[in-house]
Amino acid sequence: MLEALLLVAIAGLTAGVGVLGGLGGAVLLVPTLVLLGWPATQAAPLGLILVAGGSIAAGSRQLAERSVNHRLGVTIELAATSGAVAGALLSTELPEDALVVVLAGAALAAAFLGGRRRGLRNPPVPGYEAEDVGERVGSLAGAYPITGGVARYDARRLPLGLTLMALAGLVAGTTGTSGGFIKTPITSEIMQVPTKVAAATTTFTIGVTASAALIVFALRGRIDIQHSSAVIFGSLAGGWAGAAVQSSLSPVWLRRGLSVVLVVIAFVLVLST
Amino acid sequence: MSAEPGTVSIIRGRLQGPALQFVTVTAWILGGLGAFTDTKWARLAGLIAIVLVTTTPLIRVMWLMLRWLQEGDYAFLWRGAGLLAVAAVGGVVAFFWLGI
């Protein structure tokens, strides 16, 4: 009972932070469990359950706000997942510790890029109303609600963004992380999509890849029902709360919060090597 | 394309949103039962919660593909199919090559 309560609490907290920043949360949960003495082989599937749970719990609110851009999501995830599969194939050839340090460096760089940016890149557009909110047919553009109106956005630097997504996927696939903490900053800072849309979109996409990976773990019989149930209970509550906080935060505060969490993730990654 | 390029998509979450809310509440209750009670039925509840959490994100992509088909947005329909295909390849790689 005590172990289940602890798992619920940690899963709730990490899923909340994960959904809030569009990071997934496994990158925080798995090292925490390992530090508490759990074998990494048991912690890994729990991390995937956390990511999928957070994604589902955040989904209804993010859909209602239309902050998720599904077209953008499948486009970036196609590049990232292809990279991840290549990374998984190369995982025995590449030095894992060095790649984890690369990921930590990328997290720090993303924190710096997001943290140094001032003001609002996508201000409300005069004349745009509630019915203009949502993704656009045939493109990676959209509009989302913001304090004072509706802001328009369009994903830019697509070739660079998708190349970086594939690289992030490759490194993530090699190291066994979901890479959400890299995907959100790439979407936000390189492709210039608003942080709130980037976080909501990444939360949707990493749920898909976590789900596919979970099926593999299930087929291998590596899913513990009681522990997974505890993580589901915590992550659904945490994911729901994270989405609620995200919708109430201004884009500037969300970006600052994301930068702080990215610095924490960089340290956690370095400590885990 | 049946919907004009650049127009607001019909994906507004009017059906998918409540469906996700239902899955969230159901999986949360079943997960709680599976985590805090230790009976045969609690294990079954936990198992159903795991199945719900595992399959919902994939079903969500299929649902979106249906919407893109309705909108005639075939480029994104194929990207959705590609994502599911790559995820499946990843699963095969993980299962057979890496022995996860």
Identify whether the C-beta of residue A42 lies closer than 8 Å to the C-beta of residue A173.
Answer: no
Closest CB to B11: pick one of A84, A135, A232.
A135
Sheet containing A149-154: order of strands: A134-135, A141-146, A149-154
Q: What is the predicted pLDDT for the residue at A83? A: 84
Q: What is the predicted pLDDT for the residue at B87? A: 85
High-pLDDT (> 70) share of chain A, %: 97
Q: Say how far apart CA A221 and CA A233 lie, in whole Å.
A: 21
- DSSP, collapsed to helix, strand or coil, labels residue B62 as helix
Residue with tokens 């809310």: B21
Closest CA to B71 of A38, A99, A137, A153: A137
Which of these ranges, A152-166, A184-198, A253-267, has the smallest mean pLDDT? A253-267
Q: What is the predicted pLDDT for the residue at B100? A: 60
Whether residue A122 has pLDDT greater than 70? yes
Q: Give Rg (Cα) of chain A.
A: 18
Whether residue A175 has pLDDT greater than 70? no
Chain-chain contact of B17 with A7 (C-beta, under 8 angstroms): no
Whether residue A27 has pLDDT greater than 90? no
Judged by a CB distance cut-off of 8 A, whether residue B100 touches chain A is yes
Q: What is the predicted pLDDT for the residue at A135? A: 92
Identify whether the C-beta of residue A237 lies closer than 8 Å to the C-beta of residue A53.
Answer: no
Mutate to test the interface with B, among A92, A154, A219, A236 (most CBs of B within 10 A): A236
Chain-chain contact of B12 with A222 (C-beta, under 8 angstroms): no
Which of these ranges, A158-167, A248-257, B38-47, has the smallest mean pLDDT? A248-257
Angle, vertex CA B81, rays to CA B80 and CA B84, nearest 5: 90
Residue with tokens 């969230």: B24
Taking residues B52-81, report their average pLDDT.
Answer: 94
Residue A242 confidence class, pLDDT cut points 50, 70, 90: very high
Output the pTM of the full model: 0.90
Q: Say how far apart CA B86 and CA A77 lie, in whole Å.
A: 10
What residues contact residue A231 under an 8 Å CB cut-off, 6+ apart? A7, A8, A11, A29, A46, A49, A50, A53, B31
Judged by a CB distance cut-off of 8 A, whether residue B39 touches chain A is no
Identify whether the C-beta of residue A146 lies closer than 8 Å to the C-beta of residue A66.
Answer: no
List, as one string, the DSSP characters of A78-114.
HHHHHHHHHHHHHTTTS-HHHHHHHHHHHHHHHHHHH
Q: What is the predicted pLDDT for the residue at A21? A: 84
Whether residue A215 has pLDDT greater than 70? yes
Angle, vertex CA A142, rays to CA A120 and CA B55, nearest 5: 115
Strands (E), A16-148: 134-135, 141-146
Residue B91 confidence class, pLDDT cut points 50, 70, 90: confident
Residue A176 confidence class, pLDDT cut points 50, 70, 90: low
Does residue A235 come out as left (phi exceeding 0), alpha (psi in the -120 to 50 range) or beta?
alpha
Q: Record the tokens describing residue B75, joined without a space.
A: 């480029």
Residue numbers of B between 65 and 94 with CB closer than 8 Å to A: 71, 73, 75-76, 79-80, 82-83, 86-91, 93-94
Q: How far apart are the first and last CA of chain A?
A: 31
Whether residue A231 has pLDDT greater than 90? yes
Residue with tokens 């709360």: A241
What are the φ and ψ backbone dihedral angles of A144, each rounded to 5 degrees? -135, 155
Closest CB to B9: pick one of A59, A85, A134.
A134
Which of these ranges, A130-134, A141-145, A155-159, has the smallest mean pLDDT? A130-134
Q: What is the predicted pLDDT for the residue at A262? A: 86
More confident residue, A152 or A254: A152
Tally of CB atoms within 10 A around A212: 23
High-pLDDT (> 90) share of chain A, %: 36
Rounded to whole angstroms, the maximal C-alpha distance in chain B is: 55
Q: Record the tokens describing residue A186, joined without a space.
A: 């790439």
Q: Say how far apart CA A258 and CA A267 lie, in whole Å.
A: 14
Q: Say how far apart CA A215 and CA A93 lie, in whole Å.
A: 25
Q: What is the predicted pLDDT for the residue at A203? A: 92
Which of these ranges, A40-54, A128-142, B83-97, has the smallest mean pLDDT? B83-97
- DSSP, collapsed to helix, strand or coil, labels residue A143 as strand
Does residue A221 come out as left (phi exceeding 0), alpha (psi in the -120 to 50 range) or beta?
left
Q: What is the predicted pLDDT for the residue at A92? A: 67
List, as one string, the DSSP characters of chain B.
--SPTTSBPS---TTHHHHHHHHHHHHHHHHHHHHH--SHHHHHHHHHHHHHHHHHHHHHHHHHHHHHHHHT-HHHHHHHHHHHHHHHHHHHIIIIIS--
Whether residue A81 has pLDDT greater than 90? no
Closest CB to B24: pick one of A56, A70, A210.
A56
More confident residue, B89 or A10: A10
